[in-house]
Structure 1
Amino acid sequence: MWFQAWKRNLVTVSGTEKAMQGVADTLREFWAHRPVRPRAGRKIGGVATGIAMRYQIDPVIVRIAFVALALSGGVGLPMYLAGWLLLPEEGDEVSPLEALINKGTSSMSQAQTVLLSFLMFPALAFTFGSGGFQVIVTLAATVACIYLLQKNRGHLAPAAVAEPAPVPPVAGAPAWDPLGAAPFAWDLPEPAAAPQPPAPRPRKPRVALATAGAAALVIAGSAIAWTWAPWFTVPHVIGLLIAVLAAGLLIGSFTGGARGLIWLLVPLSVAGFGMTAVGFEGPHNLGSLSDTPKSVADVKDRYRIGVGSVMLDLRQLPDSGSVKTAVEADLGELIVHVPKNADVTFNCEATSIGELNCFGKTAEGSVEQVSGTDFGDNGEGGLKIDLDVRTNVGEVKVLRD
């Protein structure tokens, strides 16, 4: 029995190694035959146009993908700069970055290459400083798309227009025959061929119509979800619609017939970015929030931030009365300090992934929650506090000190 189990495990490990080797080979093939940035038809650095020519897809689709990535936590900006530095220009031996380390020649000057390299630092700082977990997911999805492109369309090459070969002169024939009397110079018209009916135009797949139908289903499903999932908000719906439209554009780039979806994807991406960065509650949805109320009336019903940190200090409150408040964040650190003798009923939750430490009760991982009541050192009696501390991704602490 143990031998059969060992054999099965060996087969599984061998299959995994083969799969990983296949992925590595595909990525190496992508690097060996990477896109070339053309000199004509480019908008900025030719990265999007080069990718489109390499895999024979619509360049507008690639440009929209970079814009969407730029709106998804800023990922598109460092990726475009990386393509500018690592993809060779048409006619060059190597890429600008390779030329900088003396691996060949590039038409881009060293000063321009150094400037682009320096621009990568603020671009990466902005991306990873503001995007958090979303950036990692977006980067992983982008690498997966590059892998699939190379796997399925890596064998294609940009179509080249062949120049017509010159017709060689007939041996012994004069270079000029003013009368056209020589038989070999006669150029009699061929009899006209019978007119043929025009070939029917091939019907393009109705990708746009199918995508619009899927988007309508998302809207209908969202209306139902709102009745039983209060956390499901308008930004979630916009995110799902963007995903559906992006999938339709990706399919349409290979089959045709979906270019009109761009005019829906662009405004939705801008709206989604605005709601994510600013939110419905004003421009203070990013950064840090701190409050130290000194009376029960000073305690707000809700302390909310999108991305950042919240520090709520309740230790200045009186020894009697009752308060109820919620502290919430999408991504960040939440810290609440409570008085030593207060009776605290608490609920601490990380709805996606996080770390919890509430009155010594700890948890970490995905979808974690701890709750309970803590009466302090003097037992039950005194100020009563009802706390709901919740984040999607981040750290939650409720401390008695």
Structure 2
Amino acid sequence: MSDAPTGGMAGESTTARVRREWTQLTRSRRHKVVGGVCGGLARHYRLDPVILRVPLVVLSVVGGLGLIAYGLAWLLIPFEREEENEGRRLLSGRVEGPGLTALLLIVAGCGLLLASLADTGGIVWFSLLVFASMAGAAHWARRGEQRGAGHAADPVAAQAAAEAPPEAAAPPTAGPSWWRGTTDPQRPGYLWGPAEAADARPGVAAGVWAPRENTAPPAAEPAAEPARAREFRFGGLVALLASLAFLTGTALAWEGEPLGTALVVGLTAALVVYGLGLAVSAFVGRVGGGTVVMAGLTAVLLAGASALPDNIATGWTEPVWRVESADALRPAYSMGTGDARLNLTGLDLAAGERVTTSVDAGAGQVTVLVPPDVTVEVHAEIDVGAFSYDPLTTVDDPGPVRSFGGVSQERTITYGPQDGDTAGGTVELWLDMGIGHLAVRRVAEGAA
């Protein structure tokens, strides 16, 4: 049940109330199209609402960031003349139409944002640039008003004066009113004041204290509040059904699909269950704040699962590829998830001879064994993980970098033949790892 709008603080004049409403950041009731967010922001920063509405519509259609920003503002900014925002109502389990609509806007915006990230990142930068422009316009509008406050009339006071009704005045008194603060029978007069002052009531002598008759009707006894019906809470049931939907969807897509796709199917099914539960709770029963938190966490996990590389498989493998000659070397090797080893120690390359191969792995470990007399050119690309190079013997001069790691790492490094060995040919390695570790090791053929 939504809170009724309050008329302001007790004893607050209309001018002060209008001034407070104009200076506080609240959603507008008079200039509302959807949720009153743009109207409230425009009133707070002294802008035309169209300056905010048009860019938000564009950003909502292109990229979805406009929907996310509007939904978050709808949840966090309270309505005019209300103290509680929609987000607090959701966390307390009171799922209503406005809060549910804001959540749906956020979910829809996240879907559009993920779709745009899959194509290109330029839309995100364009959206951020538009948001920065809107923030700059609001800042300068507010700052310009503060600079001109000493030269122009206060627009808040002018609006308050135009909309304010006549102020209430105290009723007139029939005579002088002196403080009658004593009920001592030994001192029946006024607490202070001249003794000849006449009382405002007829029939009362000057300077004589007389109690005021109690003409107010007797206070009625407060009526007993009707017993509230106990609300049906089904947040636990929604969480159980969402867990079952996640397990079922993931199990159905586990065989034959990459890990990211299987998780996306399961998390999408769980998010649908949470959405249906929130929609039902707006009309029947009630869910707790934990349901809203779990729905948001599921949406975050869904975004992370959709970003996983497509070559991460659900099964673990340990392939071993041994190459005895240059003719037997394949141009590409691939692995989903596991521990792979490419043994190139059997290659006998003459000086100036060059061979190229690539290894594409989703997750796990990839180790490439190379002979000591070849020059190795490594083109390593790692989404999340590390790379390491191990020479055959330890030397004082480490030479090129032997290890690195992190997120979105892409480097090209050349390692010459081992000291004391006759220079042979060149092995060019293109190594691509989603999540895991890449290793290149110098190994003698007999030791391999």
Normalising by structure 2, we get a TM-score of 0.33
- The structure with more helix, counted as a fraction of residues: 1
Find the structure with the greater CA-based Rg: 2
